[in-house]
Structure 1
Amino acid sequence: MKRKAAAGTIRNKERSKEKFLDAVGQILETKGYSGLKVNDIAATAGVDKKMIYNYFGGTDQLIDEYISSLDFWSNVDGQSTPEITDGGQEFSKQLLTQQFDYVSHNKNLQKILLWGVAEKRNSLRTIADNREQNGEQLFSQVADPYFSENAVQYRSIMAILISGIYYLNMYKGVNAETFCGIDLTKEEGTQQIKGALEKIIDLVYENQNKKQ
């Protein structure tokens, strides 16, 4: 009986935690990050707000966990990098196009990215730091050995491309649908942007091959 009771307690805890995380997503979607208050989260979840402190340690930690579950780079495992035979060329293109789709299809992540540039907050800084750490693993394992003294240039190009991915996806459908004449709300426009990302990576690697 004790074993069953313990198992039931664990299940209840996990269900309650999931309700809190879902509540954060619902509030972010309907009210934005300004609506993420402890009482509102608890009311939306239908769970006593004391459980937020018991399960997560506080509202910031709850929000941290929710953001981590969405962030693309926080969920990229640097240890699972596939075998690389081309200096990371195809892997780089895959990462960028997958990230474009990931951000495009996740409205709450777009709001979190906007939140990250609109407000200074410890929880968002923690997520940014974790994102950098995971990205660093990939850069150091894949691109740095191949680009050698040009590794910083490769990183700079990736920084511009990734920030462009963020901005284009936050921009579309808010005040306009097009950017540089490309309709970002249509599949054709999406494919044009992703094709351009791949083309830039190809050019970067072609340039490096010439230097080698």
Structure 2
Amino acid sequence: MERKSAAGSIRNKERSKQKFLDAVGKILTTKGFAALKINDIAAMAGVDKKMIYTYFGGMDGLIDEYLRTQDYWVRVNSQEVEKIQPNLEDGGKSFIEAMLISQFDYVYNNKEAQKLLLWSISEPRKSLKKMIDEQEQNGEYIFELMMTPHFKEKMGIYRSILAIIVAGLYYLNMYSSLNGSIFCGIDMNTPEGRSHVKKAISFLIEQTYENLIPEQDQTEK
């Protein structure tokens, strides 16, 4: 009986934690980040607010945990990359192309992720800074593993190209979700329009890898 009781207690704890995380998401998407108050989160979750301190150590811990469940690039950590077992011989070309297309769809289908993007550029907050630092840390692992050995002294240009692509994909998704779906004549809310963007991603990555390879490496090939 004692084992069953302990197992039940763990399940109840996990359910309560998930209720808090779900409540953060609901408030964020319906009322915005300014409405994320501890009393309102507890009321939405239907769980005593004291449990926020017990389970997460406080409001910052709760927000930290929520961000980890929602942000695309925070979850692409070294362990997840190792599971994928990317092809290192192509300099990360196939890996980054797949990641960018996947991220494009993820943000489009996840309203909470869109709100997080808006939040991250709207106000300074320790939890958001921590999320961004984790994104950069994960990105740096990927760069050093696959891209730096490939691009060498051209790595700065490669990073800049990816920065422009990622930022553009974020913007297109948020734009299509809020005030309009047509951008440069492409409807971001139609399968055809989104297919065009994905083909453009593949084209840009292909051109990047073809044109940034150091000349001596091209000669060797």
TM-score surpassing 0.5? yes
5+ residue gaps, structure 1, are none
Indicate the residue corresponding to 1:13 in structure 2: 13
Distance 1:193 1:180 in 2: 11
Q: What SS does the corresponding residue of 1:173 show, helix, strand or coil?
A: helix
Letter in 2 for 1:148: K
1:112 aligns with 2:121: no
1:123 aligns with 2:127: yes
State the TM-score, normalizing by the size of structure 2. Answer: 0.92
Q: CA deviation at 1:91?
A: 1.3
Q: What SS does the corresponding residue of 1:84 show, helix, strand or coil?
A: coil
Indicate the residue corresponding to 2:200 in structure 1: 196
Indicate the RMSD between aligned Cα atoms, in angstroms: 1.2
Q: CA deviation at 1:90?
A: 1.3
Letter in 2 for 1:147: F
1:27 aligns with 2:31: no
Distance 2:151 2:214 in 1: 12
Cα pair 1:78 1:135 within 8 Å, conserved: no
1:36 aligns with 2:40: no
1:98 aligns with 2:107: no
Distance 2:13 2:177 in 1: 38
Indicate the residue corresponding to 1:4 in structure 2: 4
1:62 aligns with 2:62: yes
Indicate the residue corresponding to 2:153 in structure 1: 149
Q: CA deviation at 1:3?
A: 2.5
Q: CA deviation at 1:26?
A: 1.1
When residues 10 and 31 of structure 1 are mapped into structure 2, their CA distance, relative to the original with a 3 A threshold, is same
Of 86, 90, 93, which residue of structure 2 is paired with 1:89? 93
When residues 126 and 209 of structure 1 are mapped into structure 2, their CA distance, relative to the original with a 3 A threshold, is closer
**Larger displacement relative to structure 2 (3-12 or 78-87):** 78-87
Q: CA deviation at 1:9?
A: 1.5
Count the aligned residue pairs.
Answer: 212
Letter in 1 for 2:140: E
Distance 1:137 1:204 in 2: 20
Q: CA deviation at 1:2?
A: 2.8
Letter in 1 for 2:181: E
State the TM-score, normalizing by the size of structure 1. Answer: 0.96
Of 180, 185, 199, which residue of structure 1 is paired with 2:184? 180
Distance 1:145 1:36 in 2: 44
Q: CA deviation at 1:13?
A: 0.8
Distance 1:173 1:50 in 2: 36
Distance 1:126 1:208 in 2: 32
When residues 173 and 72 of structure 1 are mapped into structure 2, their CA distance, relative to the original with a 3 A threshold, is closer
Distance 1:145 1:34 in 2: 44
Indicate the residue corresponding to 1:47 in structure 2: 47
Cα pair 2:38 2:49 within 8 Å, conserved: yes
**Larger displacement relative to structure 2 (202-211 or 140-149):** 202-211
Cα pair 2:29 2:111 within 8 Å, conserved: yes
Letter in 1 for 2:153: E
Distance 2:87 2:208 in 1: 20
